[in-house]
Amino acid sequence: MESTCLAFKLGDPIESAIFRIVQESLLNIERHAQASHVKINLSHTDKQCDVLIQDNGVDMSIDSELKTGCYGLIAMQERVYTLDGTNKIGNTEPRGVLIHASTPVEPSSFA
């Protein structure tokens, strides 16, 4: 496992959104994906923060985001959109799901 520290604090709204997106992704993977591996990648520049969560489990059906009771995916999207970011969710080859959330950042304090 490789880990690096952020050079600056992202601010509570962004940090909270990232935490909740990763949390909801892991819950969905545990409940639905039947995955044996999960990769989480957090990267940043001084203007943007990206989080990628990828599993090797069961693909999502095309209409997964529209199903009744599918509030987790909707909540992830809303968290990112309120920060003027983007959220993409899709299947990967040969199998699995990739979630990519990206949000603009302005450092609130330097470490």
Percent of the chain with pLDDT over 70: 80
How buried is residue 10: exposed, middle or buried, by Cβ count under 10 Å (0-12/13-18/19+)? Answer: buried
Q: Is 49 contained in some domain?
A: yes
Residue 111 within a domain: no
Task: Tally the domains of the chain.
Answer: 1
Q: What is the pLDDT of residues 62-107, one digit of tens each?
A: 665 555 566 788 888 899 999 999 999 999 999 999 999 999 987 5
Is 93 part of a structural domain of the chain? yes
**Residue 4 lies inside a defined structural domain of this protein:** no
Q: Is residue 1 situated within a structural domain?
A: no
Total residue length of the chain:
111
Structural domain for 40, as ranges = 9-106
